[in-house]
Amino acid sequence: MTPPVAGRSLRPLAGVLAAMAMSLTGTRVSAIALPWFVLVTTGSAAMTGLVAFCEMAPYVLVKLLAGPLVDHLGPRRVSWAGDVVSAAAAAAVALLHALDLLAFPVLLGLVALIGAARGPGDLAKEIMVPEAAERGRIPLERAAALSGVTERLAATLGPAMGGALVALAGPLVGLAVSGACFALGSVVIVWALPRAQAPYAGAPIHAQTPDPQNDPIPVREPGEGSVLDSAGGEGERASYWRRFAEGVAFLRAEPMLLALTLMVAVTNLLDAAFAQVLVPVWARESGHGPAVIGLNSAVMGLAAVGGSLVAAAVAHRMRRRVVFFVAFLVAGPPRYLVLAMDAPVWAMLVVFALSGLGGGLINPILGAILFERVPRRLLGRVNALGDSLAWAGIPLGGLMAGAAVAAAGLSPVLVACGAVYFLTIGLTGLRREWRQMDQSRGVGSPSAPASAESSHSP
């Protein structure tokens, strides 16, 4: 039997993924239980929509602004605090309603608190993945893929759990289970990443030189420190806005990361239009109804889990650029075109399955590139900025699609969206800096600040 690698520990990565699974499952259960709770207690669709807005608006805004604080305080602390606050707020909703003390403004405030806590908490868990993988000597692509599997499983199983709980026991039980998931996530973080786990609690790591074949993880040089429990090198001296500006400056100086973020922002807008408006309108006009929507979503979600598992096994051996763009082209435009052609259900299921498989390969590559190219002390603020930019178009997707369908009809809009999707991916892939995608392995290792090479095309 091969002896274990000195210093290797799988506990941090397992803990981060478990905490991520708990938090995401709680979020998905809440996404079913909370709207239903508002709908059955108020009978107002407008109030239900207002509650959803009050959760998501603070989520996006606070996540945008939380990057410097996560880098300064340490993601372990922020993740734990975010889960505790989310659990307490969810429990307060159930308790106040049981005591007949839950006025609608109070509900809005508690929901906003949940969203505001979830934003930094989710961000903190995301940026703990690379160092946790490093401790376990796991390739970044594999760690990012496992993170993607966790997210997709939660997105598939969480709504099913929430629907079953609401149907069998009522929405308050669903909210209580959601709060319990957040609380369990905070416990997992404390168990997996204890402060006393030297040398990782803020002390420099003196890693052994890796075997390039069996230990393909970039190693940190002495003096860099750990991001899991402590801040980066600027300490107390840098102000919040200075740290925020450093994140903006770094992202602007990285053409590949900036182009990637803008490309994903466009495709996210199109995906939001697809899910929020185009698919429901298609289901109504075609006569297939919501059952086929659910079937397509389930097939796509399960295939995405399979794609993420494939990425976890072999993504670190793939040529990133080829796999990334082929997977993106398979995951995006065909969905629009198959609905525009009014293809039979079996053909749609094949297309949605291939789309899910391609989608499962994308995020591991994106995550690995981000983890490699961004210095650890900047990872929170850069990731927060990138996520916020990538999500910026999502609220507009449904509005734009609704106006377009009203003006031109469903089929032309589906074809146009598929064409824009294809052009966005194709034109971005022709940019010279994307040649660095396969060359960036190890460039952004924790010890390396952004080098001149990482900011210019070869």
Asked if residue 216 belongs to a domain, the reply is no
Total domain count for the chain? Answer: 2
Reported as a single tens digit per residue, the pLDDT across 392-445 is 777 677 778 888 888 888 899 999 999 999 999 888 877 777 766 765 544 333
The percentage of the chain sitting over the pLDDT mark of 70, rounded to a whole number, equals: 79
Q: In this structure, is residue 238 part of a structural domain? A: no
Task: Name residue, tokens 């840098």.
Answer: 238
Give the integer Cα–Cα distance in Å for 318 and 214: 16
pLDDT of 221: 37
DSSP line for 362-388: HHHHHHHHHHHHS-GGGHHHHHHHHHH
pLDDT score for 236? 46
Ramachandran sector of residue 97 (left: φ over 0; alpha: ψ -120 to 50; beta: rest) = alpha
**Is the residue at 294 inside a domain?**
yes
Whole-number Å distance between alpha carbons of 356 and 352:
6
162 with 284, same domain: the answer is: no
Q: What is the pLDDT of residue 42?
A: 77
Looking at the structure, do residues 133 and 248 belong to the same domain, yes or no?
no
46-50, 140-144, 167-171, 437-441, range with greatest mean pLDDT: 167-171
Q: Name the pLDDT band for 109 (thresholds 50, 70, 90).
A: very high
End-to-end, the C-alpha distance of the chain in Å comes to 43
Distance CA 190, CA 193 (A): 5
pLDDT band at 333 (very low <50, low <70, confident <90, very high): very high
42 and 178 in one domain?
A: yes
pLDDT in tens, 247-299: 888 888 888 888 888 899 899 889 878 876 788 788 778 887 666 776 777 78
Instruction: Please report which helix (H) or strand (E) contains residue 178, including its range.
Output: helix 171-192
Q: Which of 200-204, 272-276, 357-361 has the lowest mean pLDDT?
A: 200-204
pLDDT at site 233: 46
Average per-residue pLDDT for the chain:
76
Return the pLDDT at 51: 76
**What's the pLDDT band for 170 if we cut at 50, 70, 90?**
confident
On whether residue 446 sits in a domain, the answer given is: yes
Task: Please say if the pLDDT value at position 207 is more than 50.
Answer: no
pLDDT tens, position by position, 219-234: 343 334 454 544 444 4
Whether 257 and 165 share a structural domain: no
337 falls in which pLDDT band (50, 70, 90)? very high
Q: Of 60-69, 180-189, 368-377, where does mean pLDDT reach its minimum?
A: 368-377
- Amino acid type, 46: A
Q: Residue 155: inside a domain, yes or no?
A: yes
pLDDT for 7 equals 57
Whether residues 310 and 435 fall in one domain: yes
Q: What percent of the chain has pLDDT over 90?
A: 11
- Residue span of the structural domain in which 167 resides: 11-190
Domain match, 116 and 251 both: no
Measured in degrees and rounded to the nearest 5, phi and psi for residue 318 equal -85, 160
- The tokens of 147 are what? 């993170």
- Domain presence at residue 407: yes
User: Which has the higher per-residue pLDDT, 257 or 377?
Assistant: 257
Q: Does residue 233 sit within a domain?
A: no
402 shares its domain with 288:
yes
Quick one: tokens of 163?
């629907």
Calculate the alpha carbon distances from 231 to 121, 203, 306 in Å: 16, 11, 36
Helix, strand, coil fractions of the chain, as percent rounded to 5: 75, 0, 25
CB atoms within 10 A of CB 4: 10
Together in a domain, 125 and 265: no
Amino acid at 147: S
Tokens (6 digits) for 114: 């949940």
In which residue are the tokens 């377009």 written?
404
Among the listed residues 368, 384, 445, 369, the one whose alpha carbon sits nearest the alpha carbon of residue 72? 384
Q: Which of 174, 190, 206 is the last residue in one of the domains?
A: 190
What is the spatial distance between Cα 172 and Cα 184, in angstroms, rounded to a whole number? 18
Domain boundary among 173, 190, 207: 190
Q: Distance between CA 17 and CA 11 in Å, rounded?
A: 10
Q: Say yes or no to pLDDT of 199 above 60.
A: no
What pLDDT is attached to residue 216? 37
Whether residue 304 sits in one domain with residue 186? no
pTM across the whole model: 0.63
Mean pLDDT of 156-182: 81
- Contacts for 289 with CB less than 8 Å, ≥ 6 apart: 283
Q: Distance between CA atoms of 298 and 159, rounded to whole angstroms?
A: 11
289 and 391 housed in the same domain:
yes
Torsion over CA: 228, 145, 210, 378 (sign): negative
* 243 vs 238: CA distance, rounded Å: 6
Give yes or no for residue 149 having a pLDDT over 60: yes
Any idea what the CATH number is for the domain that residue 293 is in? 1.20.1250.20
Same domain, 79 and 181: yes
- Is the same domain home to 274 and 401? yes
Most confident of 315-324, 345-354, 428-437: 345-354
Q: Per the domain annotation, does 69 fall within a domain?
A: yes
Burial (CB count <10 Å: 0-12, 13-18, 19+), residue 47: middle
Kindly give the residue spans of alpha helices, DSSP state H, lying in 332-449: 333-340, 345-373, 379-391, 394-408, 410-429
* pLDDT top residue among 231 and 373: 373
